[in-house]
Amino acid sequence: MEEEQVTKQRLEALSEFRFRLRSFLRFSEDAARDAGITVLQYQLMLHTQGFPGREWATVSEIAERLQAQPHGVVALVSRCEEAGLVRRKPSTVDRRQVEVHLLPRGRRTLAKLATAHADDLEELAEAVRLASGLRGVGTRP
């Protein structure tokens, strides 16, 4: 009987996490749209800044972070270039790679969206803490 209660508690925490995750994603989609870009454009710009020690990312790195095919990311980069958010630059280290750099407009848009995400991210972090705090509870070894 107690194991059923613990399992129920875990399911409740996981349900709350999934709800808050989806709420965060919906907020992010709406915030990007309000800024005049798509959520994928926002994520692409974010991932250009996601690597320590540099201010750019390669198309293949962005594809991995977006869990997308590289050819789809190339098209997304093209749309971002047309919107004045990023620019491509051949890599000086590996000529087969292309670096994606933020332009000033992209930096301003990204900063605005990152700031807007702060509160919602805190709520999501709390849901993660609650769900992970039940780790091992109601599970079999």
Give the count of beta carbons closer than 10 Å to the beta carbon of residue 19.
11
For 127, residues 6+ apart whose C-beta sits below 8 A from its C-beta are 16, 17, 19, 20, 21
- For the entire predicted model, the pTM comes to 0.82
Packed helices 59-66 and 39-48: angle between N→C axes, nearest 10 degrees: 130
Instruction: Provide the β-strand partners of residue 88.
Output: 100
Tell me, what's the pLDDT at 121? Answer: 86
In a domain, 140, yes or no: no
In a domain, 141, yes or no: no
Looking at the chain, how many residues does it have?
141
Number of domains the chain is built from: 1
Give the range of the structural domain holding residue 42, as residue numbers without chain letter.
Answer: 2-133
What tokens appear for 71 in the block?
A: 């050819």
In a domain, 17, yes or no: yes
Task: Decide which of 3 and 117 is more confident.
Answer: 117
Report the CATH number that the domain containing residue 54 is assigned in CATH: 1.10.10.10
Task: Decide which of 135 and 13 is more confident.
Answer: 13
> Above 70 in pLDDT, residue 39?
yes
